Structure 1
Amino acid sequence: MSFTIALSGINAASTDLNTISNNIANANSTGFKESRAEFGDFFQNAAYNLQTDATGGGVGTERIAQQFTQGAITNTSNPLDLAISGEGFFTMKDNGSLVYTRNGAFTTDSNGFVVSATGQRLQVYPPVAGTDNFSTGTLTDLQLSTAPNPPSATTNIVAGVNLPANATAPTDATFSPTDTNSYSQTTSTTIYDSLGAAHTSSLYFVAGATAGSWTVHTVVDGSEVGTGTALTFGSSGQLTAPAGGKVALSFTPTDGAAPVSATLDLSTSTQYGNTFAVNSLTPNGYATGQLSGVAVDSHGVLSARYTNGQTTVLGQVAMANFANPQGLQQLGNATWAQTFASGSAIPGAAGASDFGTLQSGALESSNVDLTQQLVSMMNAQRNYQANSQVISTDDQLMQTILHLQ
């Protein structure tokens, strides 16, 4: 009997050493979660439990329990590296099946899909068009497109200027953008047509002979648009005409783009003091843009940034949690699969209830404490040696009995 008991102790110590060695081997594996061997005693015959002199039948391995404690967060230079601070798992698609991981070391494949090192695709909730919401009931592969961001033609130019109240009419009565004596002040900005081509739009302000009267001329690429619009300022310095301070502009580009119809908004312009100032000059519209980077906020919202200054929301990182994470099935490569013991995946998003936040440009390190593992390894070694000594003692006793015969 003692041989069998000691042998069960040796097997248990061996299992403990295997678990510890696996933890140590993965001390630097991103997103790895250490395991702990848990043991329990057992009796060969349950009836012996009622006897005061009954002895146990040895030890057995009850389970290898995974420890989902938080690993240290390490900063990286890759914006697609994501670290979870708190509860939850990334949701990945592996050949049609959903798996879960804490390893946020993501990159893109040849088709632009965001994938793990083993090719599993990161899942996101797609954005709902026209809103700031996401379709949390739908999972989709996250794909970064290299297609350019389409241009948008300028439709509005907000120009808030201050014109000097003491200005006098120019010496040359006929306006010309090439004649500095035919206008009082000027400023320029860039506008765009439907093909994304940039055009220089200049505003020329000509003081009138009557106090508070001005004329604004708009010149695009050297050619005047229209014939000028009269501006009138009241005694308080506020613009009183045209109504609402709006001026309609229209021109046809020579590059084949659609005609540009825009509104020049001068409603915030004033006539104060003796200094010309441009307080705001903001046209809408933009040129074609190329993908320049990706940003991920703490709630997992992913946005593509383009060289034209625009951003496009691609989706929100889909996360999952479980009633019993220790019941998940380990698949290797720091991934797990749902089981009956773990319960069904509970979907969610970073920052929501029961879910941690995300940090872009960072990775979660293994939660293995090497010092603790080394101490546990020494204890397992001592247990192995002690049980081996029991077998050696039993052998000596058997030898003694044989010699008595």
Structure 2
Amino acid sequence: MQGTLFVSQTGLTAQDAKMTTISNNLANVNTVAFKRDRAVFNDLFYQKQFQAGAQMDAENQRPNGLQIGTGVQVVGSQKLFAQGSALTTGVETDISIVGKGFLQIEMPDGSTAYSRDGQLHINSDGMLVNAAGLPLIPQITVPENAMGISIGTDGTVSATISGSADPEELGNITLAGFVNPGGLEAIGGNLFIETQGSGAPMEGVPGEDYFGSLKQGTLEGANVNVAQEMVDMIATQRAYEMNAKVMTAADEMLQTLNRTM
């Protein structure tokens, strides 16, 4: 019975972790470029009483072994980087990445973070920055007398300057890619940082080789499917209830055993 209680407890812990993951996905259903998570489970080690194929006597072998599982554990959470739906905003500083790649963001300590969130702004110095005021890498500065901004699919940023007939090129937005984007570490603020699991970043031009193109006036929505999350939530709730019932049943069996002794 003690083993049953332990196994049930691991089940409760695992389902609680999955429910937390689902709730975070649903909480971020309207977060720009949010990538949903899924919990990854593994079964725990097995208590082996005897091995399949063991000799029962001089002529016969056991057709099956006896292995008793000890429960489940959460071994990780995986970011799923499927493309989110396009949200048309018409704002000239909004961009979405259609395909693979990340915008490069300069952190306050000088390090580089990565983001799919193309909700850009112009700060008081004229630089293109994210919602937290952190500048793009490479930095792009918009002149005060700019009448309008154009961002090409290849990342070329141009502005129409007052008194000039021809647009002026201000710079180029480049993208970074990773062999294993699922290995990136999410740090909040729609930002990720490099880890050993993600591999080193590869920088490139939007629309070339590995990288997706940019689309001005749009944002990438969260890739959360609300209907699927609700189905997963119900299934997780039922699994939690079943583990709790097993724990209750095991406790009742222990009480019955104690009364008969």
Instruction: Return the TM-score normalized by structure 2.
Output: 0.91
Partner of 1:243: none
1:2-401 aligned within 5 A: 2-43=4-45, 45=47, 50=51, 52-95=65-108, 96-123=110-137, 140-146=138-144, 290-307=145-162, 308-401=164-257
Question: Higher strand fraction: Structure 1 or Structure 2?
Answer: 1
Kept after mapping to 2: 8 A contact 1:94/1:119: no
Distance 1:30 1:49, change over 3 A: farther
User: Normalized against structure 1, the TM-score is what?
Assistant: 0.59
Give the Cα separation in 2 of the matches to 1:378 and 1:49.
38
Shift of 1:108: 1.1
Residue 44 (structure 1) shift: 5.3
Q: Alpha carbons of 1:101 and 1:48: their partners in 2 closer, same or farther (altered >3 Å)?
A: farther
Q: Which runs of 5+ in 2 are unaligned?
A: 53-64
Give the conservation status (yes or no) of the 8 Å contact 2:46–2:68: no
RMSD over aligned Cα atoms: 1.3
1:62 to partner: Cα distance: 1.6
Equivalent residue, structure 1, for 2:61 = none
Aligned-residue sequence identity (percent) comes to 31
Give distance in 2, aligned partners of 1:49 and 1:380. Answer: 34
Q: Which residue of 2 aligns with 1:137?
A: none
Higher Cα radius of gyration = 1
- Separation (CA, whole Å) in 1 of partners of 2:192 and 2:49: 41
Aligned residues: 245
Q: Which secondary structure state, in structure 2, belongs to the residue aligned with residue 305 of structure 1?
A: strand
- One-letter amino acid of the structure 1 residue matched with residue 13 of structure 2: N
Q: 2:232 aligns to what SS in structure 1?
A: helix
The residue that corresponds to 2:57 in the other structure is: none
Aligned mates of 1:54, 1:342 — CA distance in 2: 36
Query: Which structure 1 segments of 5+ residues have no match?
Result: 124-139, 147-289
CA contact (8 A) 2:46 2:67 kept: no
Tell me, in whole angstroms, the C-alpha distance in 2 between the residues paired with 1:365 and 1:50.
52
Q: Is the 8 A contact 1:107 1:117 kept in 2?
A: yes
Aligned in 2, Cα 1:371/1:294: closer, same or farther, shift over 3 Å?
A: same
Distance 1:119 1:384, change over 3 A: same
- Relative to structure 1, the CA distance from residue 50 to residue 336 in structure 2 (aligned partners, 3 Å threshold; closer, same or farther) is farther
1:252 maps to none
Question: 1:291-325: per-residue Cα shift (whole Å, max 9, x none)?
Answer: 10110011110001113222111111120000000
The runs of at least 4 consecutive aligned structure 1 residues that moved more than 6 Å come to: none
